[in-house]
Amino acid sequence: MQSDAGTEFTMSFEDDPVDAPRGRIWRIDLAAAVVLTACTAFWGDLVGIGPRSPYYLSSVITSILIVLPLALRRTHPLLMTALISAGSFAQVLLVPAPTWALIAIPMASYSVARWVDGHESRLIVVAGGIGSIIGPIRWSVKDPINSLNPDLLPIVAPLTALCLAWTVTPYLLGRRDRETAVARHERELAARERYESELIKHEQQTRMIEARVRTDIARELHDVVAHSLSVMIVQADGGKALARKRPDAAVEALETISETGREALAEMRRIVGVLRADPEDPKPVDFQPAPGLSEIPAMIAKAGDRVQLSVTGTQPTVSPALGVTVYRIVQEGLTNFLKHGGPGSQATVALIYQPTTISIEVANNAPQSDAPGESAPAISTEGSGFGLQGMQERVNAMGGKLTAKPTRSGGWVVRATLPLTTKVSAKASRNGQEWSKASTER
């Protein structure tokens, strides 16, 4: 998976290290079993049963029955156990001496313990225990090869113990290896769950970041475009109304339109530049200073003489994030006034600088559709609510408060109070330059 920061997450796991392996492995076991069967079947026995012995054929057949099932030791271990047990008991009954086929017993014991879970794996121990008792006794009785030899009787017990160890020791080793594999598998499952949980968390964070970026871009586009177009439309309508009677005022309106359009175009280009910038490009994007408190008077002047600015207190030095927040709140308040205010309506912008807070108030009186004079009509545009939503998001990010409501006289007022120093604004201050760049001069 590729993250937004360019980090690739990869992790691999075994399918199941506890279960017996499948695929080509059974062919390897089959080849090994065939070779081992040929060796044990035709090498004779430990006590000299040769081709001329009456037990030779029985020895060969039972050895094949004992060793050949090892081909199934990892794919079908229980079936292998049944076949080897049957062959072993047949050999004990038919052949009066141990053969090389006994080498299959510890291999079978280990395989069952390693690849079979639960009480079923203990069947090999039971079968081995029975064979360990019957075998030594059978090999010590009188027969055509071995007459009853009292000297052999004392070794029956040690031989039985040896046969038990021949079966039990590989079984214990197999159980140990299985438990180790189970523990490893559980760790890998836990690691997989953590990995998948991290992926889900990462994807959720990525979606949240993308949603926040989209919101920031939408807010910036709204603030830049809506305000600039509102100013341009108002000035254009006013210039059209004044063109005949006051040409100089019409020219001034056209100059305002031209200047506002250029500024809007420049801000739009900066937004596009941020969106299209290559993060791996060593050449940084050329960002202009973010608008702040000092740019507010010029913005209000472009709106015309219908808007008055009132400043109380001394302008403080604030972070870029706080400065651009105040600027955008005033800008959005003026945008709403220009869009919805009537020809005779007036607006006031009040900035109150206090030791710990900045208060902003943008208020306008009721639209006066029948007001005398040559003012331009209000812009006929239905509000989408994005502007107020954007203001609320900005104020929340700075830890402030915002109210926007109609007045009793039919006008509208927007009030915001922003702290100069809070945990939220301090964090925004530390990242203010990057934040203002990423949102194209907020």
Q: How far is it, in rounded angstroms, from Cα 283 to Cα 92?
A: 86
pTM of the model: 0.44
Judging by beta carbons within 10 Å of its beta carbon (0-12, 13-18, 19+), is residue 330 exposed, middle or buried? buried
Instruction: State the Cα angle at 165 between 159 and 169, rounded to 5°.
Output: 165
377 three-state secondary structure: coil
Return the residue matching tokens 């113990």.
161
pLDDT at 315 over 90: yes
pLDDT at 5 over 80: no
Q: How would you label 2-27 residue by residue, b for 16+ Cβ within 10 Å and e otherwise?
A: eeeeeeeeeeeeeeeebebbeeeebe
Give the pLDDT band (50/70/90) at residue 391. Answer: confident
Tokens of 169: 């020791």
**Whether the Cβ atoms of residue 23 and residue 17 lie closer than 8 Å to each other:** no
Say what the pLDDT of residue 380 is: 44
For 192-231, how does the pLDDT look when each residue is reduced to its tens digit (9 = 90+)? Answer: 999 888 888 888 888 888 777 777 777 676 666 666 666 6
Q: Span 289-370+379-442: which CATH code? A: 3.30.565.10
Q: How far is it, in rounded angstroms, from Cα 57 to Cα 37?
A: 14
pLDDT at 6 over 60: no
Give the pLDDT band (50/70/90) at residue 418. Answer: very high
Give which of 11, 67, 58, 14 is closest to 199, Cα–Cα. 11
Say what the pLDDT of residue 416 is: 94
Give which of 411, 415, 372 is closest to 392, Cα–Cα. 415
For 353-367, how does the pLDDT look when each residue is reduced to its tens digit (9 = 90+)? Answer: 999 999 999 998 876
More confident of the two residues 338 and 286 = 338
More confident of the two residues 375 and 320 = 320
Q: What is the mean pLDDT of residues 226-253?
A: 70
Mean pLDDT of the chain: 74
For 32-84, how does the pLDDT look when each residue is reduced to its tens digit (9 = 90+)? Answer: 777 777 776 666 555 566 667 777 788 788 888 888 888 888 888 888 888 88
pLDDT at 426 over 60: no
With pLDDT > 70 as the criterion, what percentage of the chain qualifies? 66
More confident of the two residues 239 and 370 = 239
- Tell me how far apart the terminal alpha carbons of the chain are, to the nearest angstrom: 33
Say what the pLDDT of residue 393 is: 83
Q: What is the mean pLDDT of residues 166-178?
A: 87
Say what the pLDDT of residue 354 is: 93
pLDDT at 290 over 60: yes
Sign of torsion over alpha carbons 81, 87, 91, 97: negative
pLDDT at 122 over 70: yes
Q: What is the mean pLDDT of residues 294-302?
A: 88
Give the pLDDT band (50/70/90) at residue 429. Answer: very low
Give which of 320, 300, 220 is closest to 260, Cα–Cα. 300
Please state the domain extents for the chain.
25-195, 289-370+379-442
For 85-113, how does the pLDDT look when each residue is reduced to its tens digit (9 = 90+)? Answer: 888 888 888 877 777 778 888 888 888 88
What letter would DSSP give residue 285? Answer: P
Give which of 373, 9, 407 is closest to 201, Cα–Cα. 9
